[in-house]
Structure 1
Amino acid sequence: MSHNPSYRLATLEDAEEILDLTLRAYAPIRELGIHFAAATADLELVKKNIMNNACYVMLRDHKILATASLRMPWGLQPGPFGVPHLWWFATDPTHAQKGDGSDFLHWIEHSVVAEQLKAPYLSLGTADKHPWLIGMYERRGYERAGSADLGKGHITIYLKKTILPHLIK
């Protein structure tokens, strides 16, 4: 049994496992009545996400423990700041509080956004109504950078994290 996780881009063969993980991870979001696309995803939406975005998975012993996607500025759903936009971040709730989500986010920020994409920032959006997500991201170095009413029944709070400050004009 391996204790070190591995990371890779998701493939369409991962779609069913990602859907199962996502629906379990987003159960509290549904209970809060917050309308995130991932919270009520179906297999077609998962496949669309894998095909249209950079969808990553974290694995241990060939089992997906976490998933997150980056929407690119040139893609079909760009974020608001012209940099990679993190979304659809989910960790397996049976592994909660073990640091997997934090390790995965760190890998995305450093190995993908900084080393591969050379992006100065990473952005994300979350619901103003969520009781703890904004605070969690702020503790990880994200700063509030705007808000928008996207017609989902909540205000989306945008956060940005400086990844490569020397690239900021």
Structure 2
Amino acid sequence: MSEHIRQAGERDAPAVAELLHRAYEPIRALRLSWPAAKASVEDVRTNIVRNECYVLERDGAVAATLTHSLGGEVRDATGLPFVKWFAVEPLLQGSGIGSRLMEWVERSVLLGKHRAPAVTLATAERHPWLVAMYRRRGYETVLTYDPGNGDGQMHLMRKILDIDLYRRYILANPDDIAAKYERTRPAP
């Protein structure tokens, strides 16, 4: 079995859209209104062009995907990078490939290429296992909010990639939600 991680190109849009459709079936069943859950091939193509979309291929087939958003989903709350549209082929979930892709994007892209001190993502409280999964991966909830779209409470979560860079970031950005969280978090 061979695995390869690379940035997706427009030609990957059909395969990524099919993967998202299969992997996001539980999201649709929960009636969460996440764009990735109903993304068309054209939506995926637009995502690939506008953002940094990565795929993990196993034996030449797209088995997992994760997007580093270059848009403004959380720019009103934080200047930290935001990842979205994370999906793993359902038959391969639990095999570690999603963890390998996420770790690679965090280390090689966000910290290595962009020198990001931390990364953010958002997930729904009512999903039965995503909040716990991201916590196991080192993410902490820095903000809970209700977007008013029927999804209920959402968690904006943050993972520190480099503690020294992060400390400098929150000192330089006191109005960032990450800095506010650090000032108000309970002592360990």
Is 1:37–2:48 an aligned residue pair? no
Residues 52 and 76 of structure 1, relative CA distance in 2, 3 Å threshold: farther
Cα distance in 2, alignment partners of residues 122 and 39 from structure 1:
22
Residue identity over aligned pairs, in percent, reads 38
Question: 2:20: which partner in 1?
Answer: 22
The CA deviation string for residues 78-137 of structure 1, in whole angstroms up to 9 with x for no partner, is 553212101000001121221111111111111111111110010000011111100110
Query: Which of 143, 147, 151 in structure 1 is aligned with 2:144?
Result: 147
Question: What is the correspondence of 1:20-99 to structure 2 with a 5 Å cutoff?
Answer: 20-72=18-70, 75-79=71-75, 80-99=77-96
Question: 1:76 deviation in Å?
Answer: 4.7
Cα distance in 1, alignment partners of residues 117 and 93 from structure 2:
30
Residue 82 of structure 1 aligns to a residue in which SS? coil
Cα distance in 1, alignment partners of residues 74 and 67 from structure 2:
12
Question: 2:161: which partner in 1?
Answer: 163
Residue 145 of structure 2 aligns to a residue in which SS? strand
Query: Which of 125, 130, 134 in structure 1 is aligned with 2:127?
Result: 130
Q: Which moved more, 1:106-115 or 1:9-18?
A: 106-115
Aligned length: 165
Residue 152 of structure 1 aligns to a residue in which SS? coil
Residues 47 and 78 of structure 1, relative CA distance in 2, 3 Å threshold: farther
The CA deviation string for residues 49-83 of structure 1, in whole angstroms up to 9 with x for no partner, is 111111111112211010110113xx354553212
Q: Which moved more, 1:11-20 or 1:141-150?
A: 141-150
Length-normalised TM-score, structure 2: 0.83
Length-normalised TM-score, structure 1: 0.92
Structure 1 stretches of at least 4 aligned residues deviating more than 6 Å after TM superposition: none
Cα distance in 2, alignment partners of residues 63 and 18 from structure 1:
10
Cα distance in 2, alignment partners of residues 46 and 31 from structure 1:
21
State the Cα RMSD in Å.
1.3
Cα distance in 1, alignment partners of residues 43 and 165 from structure 2:
34
Cα distance in 1, alignment partners of residues 144 and 93 from structure 2:
29
Residues 18 and 65 of structure 1, relative CA distance in 2, 3 Å threshold: same
Residue 119 of structure 2 aligns to a residue in which SS? strand
CA contact (8 A) 1:71 1:78 kept: no
